[in-house]
Amino acid sequence: MAAPIIVASANGAIALPSGVAILRKGGSALDAVEACARIVEENPLDVSVGLGGWPNMLGEVELDASIMDGETRRAGAVAALRGHLHATTVARAVMERSPHVLLAGEGAARFAREIGEPPRRLLTARTRKLWTEFLRAAGETPSGVRKRRAIAPLVMRTARLTRQGTVNFLALDRHGRLASAVSTCGWGYKYPGRVGDSPIIGAGNYCDSRHGAAACTGFGELALRGLLAKTAVDRLARRVPVSRVARDAIAAANGLDEGEPPPMNIVVLTPKGAHASATNRAGRRYAFMTTEMPEPETPLRAVVTRRAG
């Protein structure tokens, strides 16, 4: 049996010691990924997740998250959740305390209130300043943009900005169970109500204890169009080596966009604890930590610039 492990995007490294502590005590992979996600959601310095995350074009922070139990392949997700911090916990409650997989918008917020999630103001002074600076450069003001009848032209200006980001966690516990969680505020200055790949099971997140788990970060529209996470796990089921699975996922994403592909990354974990990560941007890292390690490691992701043949 492989040593329990958690694999994450690089911004999840700060949470790995807490998640691994759960695994050392015999806790479940599901508990570990939720605990890790909550830590990053509470970090105001991470502008891609939770508190202090990028707002939408109107200055409102909307969160997307999903969680999946690889044993049962049950899943829960929320999209465009406003006013509540721990989107991953709400997603888990959707899985365990409702008959649904995905709740969105006001329905997700209502459900969060129903399960006792406290309200939180998510826009911090720092991210509000960044938003107003973006608007100023575009010749707009906060009050002006809120009065505009058409904001889609402004959103189009964000298409090539590097304001995408997410945190993801894949865990294997001592019983051989896999679980995954993904949390994000989504695309910075997105159109209100935009839903990325993170809450979509099969696109940004997929987990099956028989074969493996995968999760994506970056330009979510590519993962949505290519169903990258589920495709990666399907390839693991066909016994394709994990490093090749990760690289081929990015090659497939590269072929979905004209010109230079937008940023895309993936992490992959097998039931035997083997893991890999790939990206189409040089210098990017991911993180992992086993129960036998004193601290996380953050190796470079494999870089894939080609397109799938």
For residue 264, the cross-strand partners are 218
**How many structural domains does the chain have?**
1
275-279/302-303 β-pairing: parallel
Annotated catalytic residue within 166, 184, 217, 270? 166
Residue 309 inside a domain? The answer is no
pLDDT tens-digit map of 244-297: 999 999 999 999 977 788 899 999 999 999 999 999 999 999 999 999 999 999
Residue 308 inside a domain? The answer is no
Q: What is the phi/psi pair of residue 207, to 5°?
A: -150, 130
Angle between helices 87-97 and 29-41 (to 10 degrees): 150
Q: Which of 93, 56, 57, 52 is nearest to 76 (CA)?
A: 93
pLDDT tens-digit map of 129-172: 999 999 999 899 999 999 999 999 989 888 766 666 799 999 99
Task: State the residue range of the domain holding 17.
Answer: 5-303
What is d(CA 93, CA 114) in angstroms, rounded to the nearest whole number?
Answer: 10
Q: 150: domain CATH number?
A: 3.60.20.30
Mean pLDDT within 73-81: 98
pTM of the model: 0.96
pLDDT tens-digit map of 202-253: 999 999 999 999 999 999 999 999 999 999 999 999 999 999 999 999 999 9
Residue 166 is among the residues annotated as catalytic for this protein: yes
